[in-house]
Structure 1
């Protein structure tokens, strides 16, 4: 056998060896215990499981030191308190079908010395996931806060608008600057508030999962949540563009007053559309608001002329308010 034949045999041996496909051992690769299956099932429906971290938002939560079965047997038990801003970790979860109040018991621990059991339905209203995004959502989803915020916003916005009118100051939608960004920002905040409430109405389970596992990456969530996150990032970019236009077109004092008025309008938009959408009024209201905002910008905010002397933008021909030149 010559050297060439040996080379051919060697190459063929390597090829057949490299192309060998071993059948995956699927019967043993996904063996899970019954406890693990219960944990996966619980995570799917409740969106948290063992080792999940919570932050206490209630004034006080009382934990039962003994086992839940002892509570159901009317035995004497001890309790320990955790207070606001304590951090808890889920140590264990127990389901007791014989419990008529709540079948799910959760064991949480603040530290090695402070640990106990509590009903899930008693725990969840008094805690929030221990991350900044979830706590931000919790803060702005509180109904009582929204009602109080709505009242304060209306009062402050009315005062700001009155002051702006008295001083003939610039204000979005009415005496606007020649920039499209403040108007776009107001529309986007309103639409995002409607979208936010719609997700809570139409698919509360996906929003609840996002609440427990939040992200700012719009490509790591389902489509409807992705669109909402894109609108949030768009608000940030448009706000930066609006601030840049405000800074260039107004003096420092006028810019501060305009920004205060803009913040008041945005706050009113958020509160009104967040609450009204929960009662299905927000949808026609948003259409009317968008039409109003575009009409006001086209007829009162858009600058269609430029001063021939100083180059300032003008809403109409006539005397330039900046240099006094009459443009005809």
Structure 2
């Protein structure tokens, strides 16, 4: 109970600290006069704006970025056109230049060209070398991330190639680690667990978070897109769906620390290492299985079944009901003590 109370206090402290999170200061080439429509803007203020300002505000709401927004190039490179979009549509000769991967760019202008059959939205960018150029929005968004580490982290773990790679590696790792642990008759979550509920709780939180993440993707994708463009670690400033997801991420971190602490006290270093490796592999598989299966609505009954299996396994196998008469170690059953080798009848 004492440890649980400490964890609850840590959770409250971390969430309080994240409430002070502010976005970075604008970059040296980010425009400062962009029009933004915030939640605090009243209808009267909106009505007082000019037509161009209203269009800019409406674009910012629908697309989640506007003039002055910073991007970082994710793809190999993008080509920016020096001339105006009308010249491109009219098939006139134009010049272009490449912006390489990792470069930072800022939006300086947004132009709607209805006569363009490819994409009516053109975005003008300025590079960190102060070069100006135009590009279709559809082509731009495929090759950039918002210039924020959280957005870039989300983009990395949403990459399809990475997911397929993680699937293969995770299943290989799980098979290898479980086989190794079974041969050594070592502890492993859900099967021969240690006397702590934290590992089981961590696996359940990971599975639940992955399921909830996929649920947001299914039912409120625009909410997730808004979070992607304007991320934060503070759950109190977000819509309820994003807030729950962020709280689960913080809970994952805190319970993970408690798991490491409990494992360190109950097992020797090498046993603790392999136990945590096995737990990490199980959590990786949980994330992949539930985040993908929930997209096809299979994850919901699968999560219920997983909860039943995990809780049943813990209460059935993890409770220590005996104590070794020689060294005092806790035992699941009578017989030879795995710690000192003494026989307990």
TM-score, with length taken from structure 1: 0.88
- Matches of 2:184 and 2:328, distance apart in 1: 25
- Matches of 1:100 and 1:173, distance apart in 2: 56
1:137 equivalent among 137, 151, 154: 154
How many residue pairs match? The answer is 303
After the TM superposition, which parts of structure 1 deviate over 6 Å for at least 4 consecutive aligned residues?
A: 26-30
- Matches of 2:212 and 2:163, distance apart in 1: 17
1:73-92 → structure 2 map (5 Å cutoff) = 73-92=90-109
Q: Give how far 1:308 is off.
A: 5.0
- Matches of 1:218 and 1:38, distance apart in 2: 30
| Secondary structure at the counterpart of residue 236 of structure 2 | coil
Change in CA separation of 1:107 and 1:276 when aligned onto 2, cut-off 3 Å: same
1:158 aligns with 2:175: yes
Consecutive unaligned residues of structure 2, counting only runs of 5 or more, are 1-42
| Secondary structure at the counterpart of residue 219 of structure 1 | helix
1:157-306 → structure 2 map (5 Å cutoff) = 157-306=174-323
- Matches of 1:107 and 1:324, distance apart in 2: 73
Q: Give how far 1:69 is off.
A: 0.7
- Matches of 1:165 and 1:318, distance apart in 2: 19
Question: Hey, what does 2:33 align to over in structure 1?
Answer: none
Is the 8 Å Cα contact of residues 74 and 143 (structure 2) preserved in structure 1? yes
Question: Hey, what does 1:47 align to over in structure 2?
Answer: 64
1:97 equivalent among 93, 96, 114: 114
Question: Hey, what does 1:114 align to over in structure 2?
Answer: 131
Is the 8 Å Cα contact of residues 73 and 102 (structure 2) preserved in structure 1? yes
Is the 8 Å Cα contact of residues 193 and 270 (structure 1) preserved in structure 2? yes
| Secondary structure at the counterpart of residue 295 of structure 1 | helix
Q: Give how far 1:161 is off.
A: 1.1
Q: Give how far 1:56 is off.
A: 0.5
TM-score, with length taken from structure 2: 0.84
Q: Give how far 1:67 is off.
A: 0.5
| Secondary structure at the counterpart of residue 62 of structure 2 | helix
- Matches of 1:155 and 1:325, distance apart in 2: 36
| Secondary structure at the counterpart of residue 235 of structure 1 | helix
| Secondary structure at the counterpart of residue 75 of structure 1 | coil
Question: Hey, what does 1:38 align to over in structure 2?
Answer: 55
Which structure's CA Rg is the greater one? Answer: 1
Q: Once superposed, what is the RMSD of the aligned Cα atoms?
A: 1.8
Is the 8 Å Cα contact of residues 103 and 128 (structure 2) preserved in structure 1? no
Change in CA separation of 1:29 and 1:188 when aligned onto 2, cut-off 3 Å: closer
